[in-house]
Every structure is written in structure tokens, then in C-alpha cells.
Amino acid sequence: MIDYEFAVRFEEVDAAGIVFFGRFASYCHDAMERFFDGLPGGYAAMITARKIGFPAVHVTSDFKAPIRYGDIARITGTVTKLGTTSCHFGFAITRAKDGGDVATMSHVHVCTDLTAMTKLPLPLDIRAVLAMHLAPT
Amino acid sequence: MIDYEFAVRFEEVDAAGIVFFGRFASYCHDAMERFFDGLPGGYAAMITARKIGFPAVHVTSDFKAPIRYGDIARITGTVTKLGTTSCHFGFAITRAKDGGDVATMSHVHVCTDLTAMTKLPLPLDIRAVLAMHLAPT
Amino acid sequence: MIDYEFAVRFEEVDAAGIVFFGRFASYCHDAMERFFDGLPGGYAAMITARKIGFPAVHVTSDFKAPIRYGDIARITGTVTKLGTTSCHFGFAITRAKDGGDVATMSHVHVCTDLTAMTKLPLPLDIRAVLAMHLAPT
Amino acid sequence: MIDYEFAVRFEEVDAAGIVFFGRFASYCHDAMERFFDGLPGGYAAMITARKIGFPAVHVTSDFKAPIRYGDIARITGTVTKLGTTSCHFGFAITRAKDGGDVATMSHVHVCTDLTAMTKLPLPLDIRAVLAMHLAPT
């Protein structure tokens, strides 16, 4: 399980004064990358040296309350399912100060050969690292 | 119905070389704003002068094929349902050159008093403008 | 000379309610890309197929007045000097409605072999295309 | 003096595969905000509660070497001069692993009443906090 706090950044808000909803994809991707920290060089080396990536194929997002510049948010992330080539992730964002719900996201990403842009069965070392973040059932 | 082409921008790709999935929120928001073009000053005046906004509350996205810098994409958008305070929108992005599917998105946004950050029944003029984009059933 | 209008986008503002100053780099890059429109496939094909790019090495920016969501801006761009490997560009952004000064930028970019990340003398076809945008002296 | 390391993020690169030069404005702004950490609530409370901001009016940037996703960068920042309404800041970014120069930036920001969008003499408490970061001469 991934669990950390982060500050909303100055330029992440939109003209309505709240964090632009597309920014939540960045927040979740940041958290997702941490699932791969057990690999040498982490997500970055996997992308740049091994040319293996995990493009999103399905994302469902529910936004319950806005956050703004100055807010500290908390994100938790788990691996909810590991398929042959796909990974299911769940993320929840809350306000750090009171635990109020901000957003929940369900993501499906597919292990991909970035050179050929084709699906790839999850390599065993990557599967093992992700399995450490599987949500208890 | 909204329907136009746009070019992927230089900085919209990520380290995997494809458009970052969070950017699709921007693409859809750009299209969504056009639903409001019938209002004086459009979406911008509604936000800044009337202090009425439409934060997203639920977004479902399916990504079928990546797009890259240099690609021309086509986006179509329709209003799929108008509730008392909520608006349902559907968007589809294809590659302009061959019509290949790139992504589909279903959005629910809620009419919101941006000062109080509370739900607002859709004002009649806004409802009328949005109704012009209702998908045929 | 490049000269066109564009609308400030919903998510380009910051928590101070004005366009974040880093966004002006994007505005200038968009304009700069148009200098290369005379090449087959434009800037995008040069980057992706020829692996030739123009990273910025020096940028000076003066910001005179803020712009906000809802504003229409006008950008003009000229090539101010062509060196052996470097290109000097000048950009000015004004408010479309009244011509008020918003920002001026001087850029130096260097022609670069993106594979080796080394300087490259300006290829003749690229030099010819850029020369069409040289500011009158 | 501000001095910390940060990781280049997945979506901060451009189609040339290096960090987009406009992103350096964000890096510097993040560092600049820390100059204000001595104020209650920091930069965020100053912006949102006191409605005092520091828009950039002049920025000079020199880019010496690219950075990429996977790189750890180090940023140092100092206050180089405090005027009546203006603040001069200097920033340097290096690669963490070898100290190689990446970029240097000189910024001038002006203390601004964000409601009236007019210049404001530096309030004494803000001046005192910034003075703690003055570069030794």
C-alpha cells in the first residue's frame, strides 16, 4: 500500500479556483510509480531502459469535494488485481487535515512494450513487486 | 454536437512518448466549454462574471490507442442527459487521418455556485444552450 | 512573421487568478513551431522523423500586464538572427481587444541532434524556412 | 538559502524527450514559495487570505544541459535584492548525481495587491522573512 501526503501546487488550480480535475491523473500516476519502487531504478528505469510502460486503458474517477492551493492532500493506493497483462489499481484522495473525502479513482493499466506498442505479459519481477501492494481481500 | 480537430501539442506527451492520459481531461474540457458558446461571453463569462461553474463529479475514460506529438485528433461531444443540477456529456476522440478510435469519455458535471461551492439547479438559459447539444435518442 | 490570436485556457491560470508565467513558454513554443511550417510535416516531423530539435538555451521574458481566463491574446513572432547553429526569436504578446502589452520574450534556441544531443549546423532547408520569418532590419 | 533535490516527473518532458523549458518556471516557483515559509501559512495563506502575490515581471533563463525523466535535480535559491516593491531571486539547477549545471534563472517579482492588481510596498513581515534568504555579498 502506498500512503503519503502532498501539497496542492500553485499552478494546479483552474479558473474556477479549484484543482483542475485532470490533475488527479497526475496525482494517481505519481502514486502508481511508487508501486514500482522495488525495481532497480524504479518506474523511470523500467520506462527508459527496459522500454516497458503501463499506459492507462480504463479510468473511473469520482470527485466528492474540491481541493485548492494551500490544501494538503493524502493519497492511498493499492493494487486491486493483477491479470496476465493488466493491472488494476485503486486510489483514494482525502484532505489531510480532517480526512474528508476528495476523490476515488479506479485505474486499469496494461503492461506494454513501448517500442512495439503491444501488450506484454507482466514480467515476473514486475509482478512480484506489484503483488506487494495487493489490497487485502 | 461539438466536432472539431486539434493537433497534439509538443509538451502534452509523457516520458513514454505518448499523450499523458491526464491531458484527455483538458481535451474534453475544451470541448465541453463549446457547449456553452451560446451564452454571452461563453463558459468564461459564466465562470468569471456569474460565478457559476461545472466541476466534474464523475468521469469514466477508455483509452483504445495512443496519440503522439504530430498527430491530429478529432473530438466529438454531445450532451447525453440533463438532470436538475447535473449534466452528462459524452466525448469520443479519434485519429483524424484514419478515424481510428483513441478514447471515449463519459462525464458528469454539476452546476455549482462557485462562491458558496453548492449545487445549483441549472439556470434556464444555460439549460437551453446545453439542450441544443443533446444527442439524438 | 507569425501573428495570430489565441484564447487563454481554463487551466492555464494559477492560484493568483492570472496566467502562470511558465505558460508563456508554451505560448512562445506554439508560435515558434509555426516558423517551421514550411518544412514537410512541420516541426513535428522534424522532431520525430529527422530527430532534429531546437532546445532553448537562453530566454528573457518581460511581463507587463497579466492575462486571465476569458482573455483573447495576440502573439507575434519573428526570427531576429540566424547563427551557425543558433536561432534567435522575438515574441510579443498583447491583449487582442485593446492591443495592451502583456509580455515580450527573446529566445535563443540551438539546432540539436536529438539522438546524440549535440549541436548541429542549421540544415539548409531549415535555414531557408526560418529565413522567411526574419524581422526586417 | 533554499536548497533541495527533486525528481523530474513523468509528464514534465516534451516530445524531444527532455524536460520542457517552461517547466523550469514551475521548479523556480516551487523554490520561491519556500522563501515565504517563515510566514504563518506560507505563500499559500499570503495569496489566498491576504490577497498578496508576487507575479513575475522579468525572468532570464540559461539552459546548459537537458534533464530527463528519471533524473534527480537539485535547486538552490537565494534572494539577491529587495527593492521597495520588487524582489530579485536567483536560482540554479544542477544534476544531483554529479553536480552538472542544468540551468540558472534570475527572477524579478513584484509585490502585488491581487484584488486591485497594483504594486504594493513590501510589508515588513514579508520583507523580514525574505531577508533571511539574502545571498551573502
DSSP string, B102-133: EEEEEEEEE-EETTTTEE-PPPHHHHHHHHTT
Chain D residues with beta carbon closer than 8 angstroms to that of C53: 16
Q: Find the mean pLDDT for residues C82-103.
A: 98
**Model confidence pLDDT, tens digit, residues B52-78:** 999 999 999 999 999 999 999 999 999
Q: CA of C11: which chain A residue's CA is closest?
A: A14
**Model confidence pLDDT, tens digit, residues D56-73:** 999 999 999 999 999 999
Q: CA of D17: which chain A residue's CA is closest?
A: A48
Looking at the partner chain, which of B10, B16, B70 has a beta carbon nearest the beta carbon of D14? B10
**Which ranges of B14-64 would DSSP assign to H, the alpha helix?**
23-35, 42-48
Predicted pLDDT at A85: 98
Q: Find the mean pLDDT for residues C54-65.
A: 98
What's the mean pLDDT when you consider all of chain C? 97
Q: Phi-psi region for residue C98, left (φ > 0), alpha (ψ -120 to 50) or beta? A: alpha
Share of chain D above pLDDT 90, in %: 98
Reply yes or no on whether the pLDDT at A105 is more than 90: yes
CA angle D49, D53, D56 (to 5 degrees): 160
Looking at the partner chain, which of C26, C69, C70 has a beta carbon nearest the beta carbon of B11? C26
Predicted pLDDT at C136: 81
Reply yes or no on whether the pLDDT at A136 is more than 90: no
Confidence band (pLDDT; 50, 70, 90) for D122? very high
Residues C78 and C31 sit within 8 Å (Cβ to Cβ):
no
Chain D residues with beta carbon closer than 8 angstroms to that of A33: 10
Strands D52-53 and D101-110 come out as unpaired
C-alpha cell recorded at residue B106? 463519459
**Cβ contact, residue pair D55, C66, below 8 Å:** yes
Q: Find the mean pLDDT for residues A110-128.
A: 97
Confidence band (pLDDT; 50, 70, 90) for A135? confident
Q: Find the mean pLDDT for residues B1-25.
A: 96
Per DSSP, the residues of D2-40 read: EEEEEEPPTTSB-TTSSB-TTHHHHHHHHHHHHHTTTST
Share of chain D above pLDDT 70, in %: 100
Torsion angle in degrees (nearest 10) through CA of C37, C42, C44, C50: -140
**What is the rounded CA–CA span in Å between residue B53 and residue B38?**
16
Q: pTM of the full predicted structure?
A: 0.96
Q: What is the ipTM of this complex?
A: 0.94
**Model confidence pLDDT, tens digit, residues A31-76:** 999 999 999 999 999 999 999 999 999 999 999 999 999 999 999 9
Q: CA of B46: which chain C residue's CA is closest?
A: C70
Query: What letter represents residue B94's amino acid?
Result: T
**Cβ contact, residue pair C25, D21, below 8 Å:** yes
Confidence band (pLDDT; 50, 70, 90) for D136? confident
- The backbone torsions φ and ψ at residue B18, rounded to the nearest 5 degrees and listed phi first, read -120, 165
Residue in C4, C6, C9, C10 to test binding to B, most B beta-carbons within 10 Å: C10
Confidence band (pLDDT; 50, 70, 90) for C137? confident
Q: By three-state DSSP, how is residue A43 classified? A: helix
C-alpha cell recorded at residue A107? 485505474
Chains near B (3 or more Cβ pairs under 8 Å): A, C, D
Looking at the partner chain, which of C10, C33, C70 has a beta carbon nearest the beta carbon of B10? C33
Q: Is the four-CA dihedral D95, D99, D104, D110 of positive or negative sign? A: positive
From first CA to last CA, the distance across chain A in angstroms is: 13
